[in-house]
Structures are given as structure tokens and as C-alpha cells.
Amino acid sequence: MIKFFLIILSVILTSFYFFPFEFVFLPGINTKMAMAGIGLVLCGIHLAKRALPTVDRNLFILSVIGIMISLASLVAMIYNNTDDRSFLTYIVSMWVWLGGAYCLICWLRLVHGYISIVLLCNYLITVCVAQCIIAYTMNVYAPLKDFVDSFLGGEDASMGKAETRIYGIGAALDVSGIRFSAVLVMLAFLAVELGKTLKSHYVKWYIIAFFIIAVIGNMMSRTTTVGVGLALLYWLYCSKNICFSLRSNVDSLYWTWLLRVLMVGIPVSIYLYYTNQAFYTNVRFGFEGFFSLWESGEWKVQSNEILFEHMWVFPETLKTWLIGDGYGANPLGDPYYTGPDYHGFYKGTDVGYLRFLFYFGIVGTFFLVFYICKTALVCMSKFPKEKVMFVLVLAVNLICWFKVSTDVFLAFAPFLCFAKEENDVYMKRIEKK
């Protein structure tokens, strides 16, 4: 009973890290920041006790690149005389995420007696499924929504009052979509690799989780489609059989279970589509492109239409190309700004790469892209057997930057906080079963 309680608490702490939010009674401090404070203290204690080796060289390199991002932001601000600090404290954000990740890893190791990639990914998958279920339940059951809104503070509270899309506890809009996508490709990798040793016992649950996140996650944020698409492409590549053979072997186990889940999930979804107004509205939003294709013969998504028709604007001066204009967010909050009235972000664009260019130019954009790529490379070199998984997570980030400016360093950070040897011990143990 105690172990069950600790596991539930572990899921909550994982959500606090992966989908941070502010409590009403702690304004200005979100759950990730609180965990980071604990994590950095624990890291200091472990270093003092020599329970950890000396500071990792790769973390030092990542910190240097993070400092360069912050310096690029500072140069853009000073040269352009702006007060937009979007990336000024990037190095601080990096270590806050690392501190929160280290706190989470220490807790999971304490509860389970070990830490591994499989364990960590299973918690991330569980949290995403839980967020989807909570989000949809809040949409159809007002008392739960009122209860959640009662303790959400900061931006999450204002979103709850104004947002028409469904949302979870700290999970909403494109931020949740890119994180769902990162977890979906982790799930896809585990379904293939662990199917070789754990077989259908794990794979069936991964596929059920995949269906829940794919459907409800798209209702919350259509950016989730990126993860769905990459996961399916990865399974296609791994199957080595375009006919999707249903033999019970590792090449088709995930397809077998996916078809089984779809055979149940599709009829249930169709029934809810015609009988439940909330499901009807949300599923049409989440899969607007598919409905448009079916009903009009043309793939059309309103947000994408706006993105491609109005948001692809490029710098017009060499100075802007090199160091940016110092604006990433809407500049109207700056009392010294006298330019045009833009809707939304600077220059009216929400495209991640363009926002980077307009904020701190090619120089800052290079360091930011290099930072995410280097983080992925560190994880790949640390866990070579799981290299493909980190490539997929990196692909999620680089693709989603065509839509939003959020990165997925938080998805990489926990893997930087434990040793390869710990993961190897676990993998050898399950391979013997």
C-alpha cells in the first residue's frame, strides 16, 4: 500500500516537473522552480559527499552555449534599446530545468531503488495520459474544472477563464503539444525495443497510451500531430513490411496492438462523435484537417492557413538578420516602442524560427539551435543504444519550431541526470527474463 502511494506521488512529481504551474497560494513560484531548488541543493550535497563525480564536461559545454544565448539576447536588447528579456536568462532557465530534473531522478531512484530510461519514460507517458484524461474530464464535468481552476495561479489561471480549448493541470496550447509529441516518439521507440524482451505485456499499454494521447492530445494542441506522425513513420520504418504482417513477432507486435486498439477505439469515438456534443466539438477541432479533407476534398486547418498566409515574414535589413530587433514578444508593452500595432507577437509572426531571427538574429538563432542539437548529441553519446529515441525527440523540436518557439530541453534534461551504468544494469536484468 505504501509503495502504491509512493508511485502515485511519483506521478504527481513527474507532472510537476514536465507540466509546471503556479499554485494560487504561491504566486511567482511554479512547481518546476520549487523542485529545482531542492534538486540543486541535493546536487550540491552529493558533490560534497563525492556521491557524484566532478562536474560533467558536457554540462559545462551546454552551460557555455546557454551563456552565449543569453549574451546574444543582451546584445540585441542593448543595441536595439529594448526591454524584451525573452532569452536573457536562458542560462538560468537551463539550470532550473536541470535542477528540477535532478530532483525528479533522485526521487524515482529512492522509490524504486534504481533509475533507467524505461522507468523514466514510463512515468512521462503516464503523466501525459493522465493530463489528457483530466483535461477531457474537466471539459465534461464542471465541478472538476472549478476545483482545478481554484488552485491554478499565474498564466494558468487566466488561461482557464479565457481559453476555449481543453486543458489539463499546467498542460495547454502548443506547449503541451510539443511535450506530448516528445513523449509519443519515446513511446514509439520503447514499443519497438522493449517488444523484443517484454513482448506484449508492455506493448499493449504503450499502444493504448498512444491512442489516448494522439486523440485527446490533439484536442488540446494540434502540435501533437508532429509526434503522432513521427511515431507512425518510425514504426513503418521498423516494420520492414509495407503490408503490415500480423504475425506475432517483434516486427509487427506494435502494429498488431495498434490495430486492436483502433478496432475498439474508432467505434467508440464514432459513437461519442454523434452522441456527445463536447466530444463532437473537440474532435472536430483536433482533427480539423481530416474533417476538411473528408467533407471538401481539401486539407485545410485554420491556424495553418493563418500561419502560411500571414506569418511568414522575414527581416528586411542586414542588422536584423545578424542581431535581430530585440523583440520576440508583442512590443506594445515597451513604453519606448513607437512602431506598428502588431497582433500577437512581433511582426505578427508566431513561427518559432522567425521569432528567433527577429529577436536576436542569425547569431542567437545559431546558438539556440546548436544548444538543442548538442543536448541531443550528449544524450546519444551517453546512451548509444537509445540513440534513435533522442534523434526522434530532436526531430520533434526542430519541426515544431516551424510553428512555435518552445523547445524540449526539459525532455532531455532528466537523461542528463543519471549515469549510463545505472541504465545498463536495468537493461541487462530485463534481457535475462
Per the listing, cell 504475425 goes with 247
Q: Give the model's confidence band at 92: pLDDT under 50 very low, under 70 low, under 90 confident, else very high.
A: very high
Query: Which of 123-127, 130-134, 279-283 shows the lowest mean pLDDT across its residues?
Result: 279-283
In a domain, 180, yes or no: no
User: Does residue 28 lie in a domain region?
Assistant: no
Angle at 131 between CA 127 and CA 135, to 5 degrees: 175
pTM: 0.90
Which tens digit of pLDDT belongs to each residue from 360-416?
Answer: 999 999 999 999 999 999 999 999 999 999 999 999 999 999 988 889 999 999 999
Q: In 10 A of CB 245, how many CB atoms?
A: 14
Q: Which is nearest to 400 in space by CA: 355, 361, 363?
A: 355
| Domain assignment present for 95 | no
CA 433 – CA 428 distance, rounded (Å):
9
User: 232-244 pLDDT, tens per residue?
Assistant: 999 988 876 544 4
Cβ within 8 Å of residue 204, ≥6 positions away: 257, 260, 261
Amino acid at 40: L
Is 346 within a domain? Answer: yes
Is 122 contained in some domain?
Answer: no
Nearest to 302, CA basis, from 318, 315, 285: 285
- Domain with 362, as residue range(s), is 56-88+322-417
User: Can you name the residues that pair with 153 across neighbouring β-strands?
Assistant: 22
Cα–Cα separations (whole angstroms), residue 143 to 74, 134, 146, 238, 282: 46, 12, 5, 45, 19
* Residue 59 CA: distances (Å) to CA of 65, 80, 89, 97, 432: 10, 31, 17, 13, 34
Specify the number of domains making up the chain: 1
Residue 101 neighbours by CB distance under 10 Å: 27
Looking at 146-155, 212-221, 380-389, which range is the least confident one?
146-155
Q: Which helix (H) or strand (E) holds 180?
A: helix 173-193
